[in-house]
Structure 1
Amino acid sequence: MPGAGTDKTKTWVVAPGPVIVLVEPQIGENIGAAARVMANFGLSRLRLVKPRQGWPNPKAHMMAAGADRVLEGAELFDDLASAIADCSFVAACTARAHDQAKPVVSPEAAAERLAPLVAAGETTAVVFGRERNGLENDEVGLADAIVTFPVNPAFASLNLAQAVALVSYEWFKRTGSGLPFAMPVRSDPAPKEQIHAFFTNLERELEAVEFFRPPEKRETMTINLRNIFSRMQPSRQDIQTLHGVIMAIAEGRKGPARGGVLDGDEASLLRKLLAEHGDGRVPSERGPVRGLSRLLRRNPTEAERALWTALVADRRFAGRGFKRQVPVGPHIADLVSFPLRVVIDIAPPEEPAEAAQI
């Protein structure tokens, strides 16, 4: 499995680009870090002028974090003139004004200047100086242009690898294929018909709780609500989720959990009412009776809550597929496990036979 952005299953970008030249880098870690950002942005040609700690350097490979092929292809030179001898255009990176009559450009402008030369097959280079004091005047004199960065003038010095990263990034912006990924589209945009149905349902539920007050502002409030969701440009899944949220709020929480609307005494009174109602004297009465039964199950006793907690938390029962308030034919069970083919009805000790039949 690929790590944080490193995926060895994908093709390594190999494309022409400017040579990166590091003049007398002081420590191997900075060379490795520079090689890493070169690899990030598709540059592979690295030249080193008299690295202070010698070459090859194991600490450079450690810091390169997988960009070993850049380090393995690095070329070693004794002076800057030799390192850029085959280059038709050279840009020198510096944070200091060297009082030389040379074009001073940003990294973005430098990439724009280099791109057609590289495309024509010419060898170009971008030169970076020492970590401590950068490039000397005579070294800048060998360049065709000066590259500098728009930074805080009171703290203009960049880490060597940071400077290489800025130039490499601007290069890859011009020559790369753009962003590597985009937001996935997991659901189509919601059609107006679905949005209209959602609004109708939302407004109906808001009307039920007297949200639109005063009445004369109802039209304005409705338009504002519709505009809120229209600006979202919701997908089909968004509307389905919002519809589920509205219905959950409107219908209340289901199952043996705290937060019911009845306390223990009220639940007991409801049980008695159900017992007195029995099976219902006419078919039309079965609906209200079942509705009251569902309300009771949304307001369980402490014993019922304890049972549900045991079924979902105890390792002997967890994962056995228990569900709450599942219809089985015309009957609404308290707890059901379809994998185990088990139906549990919770019957209080004082519950009469008539209530048990509901």
Structure 2
Amino acid sequence: MKSLLLPPHTMRVETYTPSHAATWDALVATSANGPFLFARSFMDYHQDRFTDHSWLLWQGTKLRAIFAAAVARDTLAPATLVAHPGLTYGGLVTVPGVKYAELVVMLDLLRAAWQAAGFQQLLIKPVPRVFSRQPSESLLFWLHQQGAVLQARELIAVLDLTQPIRIGTWRRGNLRKARRHGVVVQQATGHDYAPYWQLLTANLLTTYGCQPVHTLAEISGLRDRNPGHLELWVAYVGEEMVAGVLVFQDVRQGFAHTQYIAGSPRGKQVGAVDAILAHLIREKSAGFKRLSFGTSTKQDTGLVNAGLLNQKEGFGAATEVLDTYLLPLRVAE
């Protein structure tokens, strides 16, 4: 489908270079669907692992959209453009008010640029609704129209903070347990990050046999370069740290998101994680519309982690989907 109202020649595509960083960030900061993770202060922290292949879409002198994508330096599929291999999601971010006809022009121009750059397919996980100030599924419709194939579908648990919260019986029991054991929840200071990362690493190794995606140095750097967007909340029993939850948040886009959740063996016994999550619900209800508890599907199988999802649903969360699509980049006939 080609442009309905907007002549294609009025818009142009440009490859991103570091000289565009300020312009790129300005669009993200005022966009309809660009969380702070698209800011270059966040995206570029792992630029040694990826070759950036992002794009800008201009109409005259006005930047109308950006497309975040890259290719891993150690990839076995260099002809696959990924949006984005270093982020949970990627792809198209637009200014508010973009209509479908304009979006089609953007995507047609982008596809031609991808083909010219030698890419044979696009692997894309679009920005989910929960992280968008003005959610739109126009991109999903375009992908379907172009023959994109659904590669993966994950469940993400989302709590609507604008509605009354109904906490389930089991979670309420854990909260009473936390109170009985004197669990204290507080926002972390810089000194809390190292012991929490030790707790988190031990928990992941014991439970899943893996390590955190981010190192302590990386997460500390991201916190410092993106002030106000990363918070760590921890639970103590006396002097012992027993649980923690790392929060990524974006006031403009309207969400807070729990990225890392972990409890020590004692923390699990006393309901410390539930105490933090309940505190976050109260804390974030004042300034945010949505609280994301993250995905509840296993990366290796795509199956639901029933226990994890049950915990999130116990706080009143509902499920949404996070999709990944593969689009062949055929030469236009």
TM-score bracket for the superposition, by shorter chain length: under 0.3
Higher strand fraction (1 or 2): 2
